[in-house]
Homo-oligomer: A and B are copies of this chain.
Amino acid sequence: MDIKRPPRIEDVARAAGVSTATVSRCLNSPATVRESTRSIVEEAISKLGYTPHFGARALAMNRTHTIGAVIPTMENAIFARGLQAVQERLSDSETTLLLACSGYDPDREARQIRTLMQRGVDGLILIGEARPKETYAFLQSREIPIVLVWCDGESTDHICIGFDNRAAARGMAQTVLDYGHRQIAMVAGIMDWNDRAARRVEGVRQALTAAGLDLNADNLIEAEYSLEAGALALRRLMSRSPRPTAVICGNDVLAAGVLQGARQMGLRVPDDLSITGFDDIELASVLDPGLTTVHVPHRRMGWTAADRILELQTDDRANGNVSFSTDLVVRGSLARRP
C-alpha cells in the first residue's frame, strides 16, 4: 500500500502536471512562477509529502545550507547559550548547524574542520584564534566564510565576533586589587592553543604588574576546565606561603571548583578567601556565595556570528569585526581583604 520510496521531484511534477523545473522553481525562487501554477504545485507537494533530497540538492547547487561549528566541549555550559543563539538565527534562514567538538585539542579541531568541510558546510564558526598555521592554511585553501568567536582578532585577519579577553581580565584583576587584596593568585585555563585563556592571564598580569605585584609560577596555576582541577589547584596554592587572599580564575567552572575546594578545606568564602570567575554562566549565579565574574554577551555573540556568516554567504565584502563590551558582575564571592 504505502509506497516506501519517498516521493521525488518528478512525482510532484507529474501530479501537478508541470515540469520538474517548475517544481524546483517553486521551491527555490517562487517569485518566478505564476501564482496559479505555484498553488497547484504546492498542493501536490503537500499531498505527497514531498521533501527535496538533500544530497541531490547539495550536488546540483554546490551549497548545503549547513554551517559548521567546532567548539571545545559541550560538557560545561560555556558555549551552550551562544550556540543556541546561533541556531535560532540560522533556523530563521533555513540553515542547519552541524556541531563538532575538539576537546581543546588543536589536532582534533583540525580533523573536525576537515570533516565539516567534507560535508560541504557553507561556512564555519570556530572558537578563538589560536590554532596551528596548517589549520589556517587549510581553511584558506577552501573558500568558505569563516567567523571566529570569543576573540577580537588581535592576531588574525579572519573576522572575529567577540570581546577583549585581556581587558576584561585586567578589569577584573583591578577590581580585586581595589578590594584591597595583595596576595592574589590565579587559576588559569591551559594556555596552550587557547588564546582566551592566555589573554586572560595577560590581563591579570598587567593589572598586577601595574600595582607592583607579580604573576608567576608561584601564584599562577594552569588547570584544565573542570571542578576537580579547580579544587586541586586551590589545594596547591594554599600550601604555599604567603597564602593568597583572593583567587582569580580563568573561568567560572574553575572558580566553582576552587569554591568547592575552599569548602573542603574549611575556608570561608569570601571571609577567608575571595574568588572570581569569568564568563558568567548560569552556574555563577546559583552558587553560594554567588560568583563575582565577567559577564560575556553569549547570546549577542551567537546572533552576530550567525548573521555575519549568513551575510558572507552572499556578500563577500569582509564585513568588520565586532568587539562587545563586557561587564563585571560583583557577587558575594569577592570581599575586601580580610
A residues sitting closer than 8 Å to B (CB atoms) are 2, 4, 6, 49, 51-59, 64, 66, 73-77, 80-81, 83-84, 87, 96-101, 114-115, 117-120, 141-143, 227, 256-257, 259-260, 263, 282-283, 285-288
- What is the distance, in angstroms, from A67's C-beta to the closest C-beta of chain B? 12
Given known pairs A6-B142, A282-B76, the reply for A54 and B288 (CB within 8 Å) is no
Choose among A76, A81, A96 the residue with the greatest number of B CB atoms under 10 Å from its CB. A96
26 A/B residue pairs, CB under 8 Å, sorted by A: A2-B141, A4-B143, A53-B59, A54-B58, A55-B59, A55-B64, A66-B119, A73-B84, A74-B74, A74-B84, A75-B81, A76-B77, A76-B80, A77-B77, A77-B80, A80-B80, A84-B101, A87-B101, A96-B98, A96-B119, A98-B98, A256-B286, A259-B286, A260-B286, A283-B283, A286-B287
Question: Which residues in B have their C-beta under 8 angstroms from that of A74?
Answer: 74, 80, 83-84
Copies in the complex: 2
Docked complex Cα distance between A56 and B59 (Å):
6
CA distance A129 to B212 in the complex (A): 62
Q: Is the CB of A286 within 8 A of B55?
A: no
Among B80, B100, B142, B288, the residue within 8 A (CB) of A263 is B288
Counting from the closest, the 6 A-B pairs by CB-CB distance are A55-B58, A55-B59, A55-B55, A54-B119, A74-B80, A51-B118
Chain B positions within 8 Å of A120 at CB level: 53-55
20 new A-B contacts, CB < 8 A, other than A75-B84, A96-B119, A227-B286, are A52-B118, A53-B120, A54-B58, A54-B119, A54-B120, A55-B57, A55-B58, A55-B64, A74-B74, A75-B80, A75-B81, A76-B80, A84-B101, A96-B100, A227-B285, A259-B286, A260-B285, A263-B288, A286-B287, A287-B288
